[in-house]
Structure 1
Amino acid sequence: MLEHLGFDPTAESVYRLLLTRRDLSTEDIAGLLGISAEDACSAIQHLVDLTLLRASVANPGELRPVHPDLAAELLLERQRAVLLRQQQAFAESQLASARLAAEYARLSLDAEPYQVETLQGIDAIQSRLEHLARNVERECLSLMPGGAQSARSLAASRPLDESMLSRGVAVLTVYLDSVRNDPATWEYSHWLSAMGGEVRTVPVLPLRMVMFDRDTVMVPLDPDNTRRGAVLLHGSGFVTAMGALFDQVWSAATPIAELIPRPRDARITAQERELLCLLTTGATDEVAARKLGLSVRTVRRMMADLTDRLGARSRFETGVRAAQQGWLNCDC
């Protein structure tokens, strides 16, 4: 029952027994619970390590169980420390990944000077996209984070998508689930589907990218400000990796025409699960909103709803209870 808090079932049974019977020996505990004396001894030691069993003042040499209210507080605090360590490890991993990506980009520029093209500004990006769309032969694959797409972006995309589809090019696009609440992006997605394209959605996307014929990929110079410019890579190992990433995202995405499934046993949507995972790993409301393509107000409303549904009194307790429910099946 309390395994998510580091409390194994045997130790929990011993603790519950000692709350009602404090005069039991290790052998008595083993006999009453139907376990070996060795397992009973290990469970008692585990309870001591968790500070749920403490030395008795009245009877020196004996152990007493702490009150259940204090036990819950101690277990939650211990779990909080674990989560904080995970957050720190995640942040360190992010930093290491960023450094690796930067080093790879530098090496790519040094080793393949004719394979990388830097585009400065939105006009340069649009001009290059128009050229690539005219020359693509087989497929155009896109990951589009940021939630609702701007009217300007949709207007610029329509003639390019229409031209590619008219030539039999496969156009596959992945948006965030949140676009289902934006009339303009929703309408554009259905227009694209009616024209022969395919559109799917996911709760969160790793980055923005557009790939042509799995030979050329465009990614932003700054993921937080795509207007600054983009990098265009041709025929490199990085392009192959981006193709594999797209395939992975696509296989897990939900077609735009379908309702987003809600797991029958979890009472939580994929978008809500991603929100919990983001906040568990230390993301702020603002960062979570940007990654999910939602407003900060919507993120806070969703979090308040989750807190209420779990009967929690704080965000930390919400995270703990979500873990107990098995809702955090993510790479947190």
Structure 2
Amino acid sequence: MLGALGLEPEEEFVYRALLGRPSATAMLLADLLDRPEAVVDKALARLVETGLALRSGGEAYLAAPPAMALGALITERRDGLRIAEQALVSLAEEHRTAVAGRSISELIEVVSGVDAIRHRFQQVQQAARTEIRNFVTAPYLAVPPGSNAQEDAAAARGVRFRVVLERSVLAQPGIIDEVVDSLERGVELRVADRLPMKLILADGDLALVPVTAPQAAQPGSEPGAVLLHRSGLLAALEALFETVWQRAYPLELSSFGADGLPYVELDTDGPTELDRRILSLLLSGLTDQAVATQLDLSLRTLQRRLRHLMDLAGVETRMQLGWHAARHEWA
């Protein structure tokens, strides 16, 4: 919850424990939280550094009042963003001056038709030297899941992939297997509630963006896209991607497990691989029915597994289950 302010999960965990006590030592907190004392010591040092905790004589610590301490951190972040915005204006002007001699036709190319868009999509990936950034939304048009041949080639060259999926994409049939495959190949994936557009960026040099949505196109008309070369508009798309990336929910391979379906339900004292996948999809924002469909389960089986997990965690609500799952790395 406090990650946006620069806190690691362990630091937030220790801070929350410290809030409920007049003062506490690292040893006491380590026993209370069932954490190694060295981990708690490191978290406390970071909390003191950020102003969220104070030393209280000897080895004891006090939690700083949240309204004061967190308010200061929020203000600091806002000031940092303002400075970054000012720098962006200056950098954009420098870049505009550098490309002022280029004509519009050199900076923007209109692409029409599914085949042409697919061809340019592959070319953008071929041109990447260090990184590809991608917004993925449904419905698919030119490059459906499993048909991106250039992704493997780019990854083999050492190109980093960062991809943000719109949450509705996770409800598409068969997409979870595709997600697991991408994660296994080192693709960094995150999920956002909504994305403003489809987008692919190759380094800071090329971007491909649709200009007509499939549902908005006239019957019989062809879809269109624009290929952007290095320009102020491309820099704005880079900034948009980074903003969305920072706010999106990360997906990790451990959340989904390495094995495919079917699952075997075991009577264990902890979550099974099936349970971990259920929790991960629910934390990504999917409905019970969408999760059940993705995992080829009945809705009744899914809800029975959730009740079992709540009993294991000793909680009464799903919100409490999500907090417990995050703290104990269940998902």
TM-score range for the pair, normalised by the shorter chain length: 0.3 to 0.5
> Which structure's CA Rg is the greater one?
1
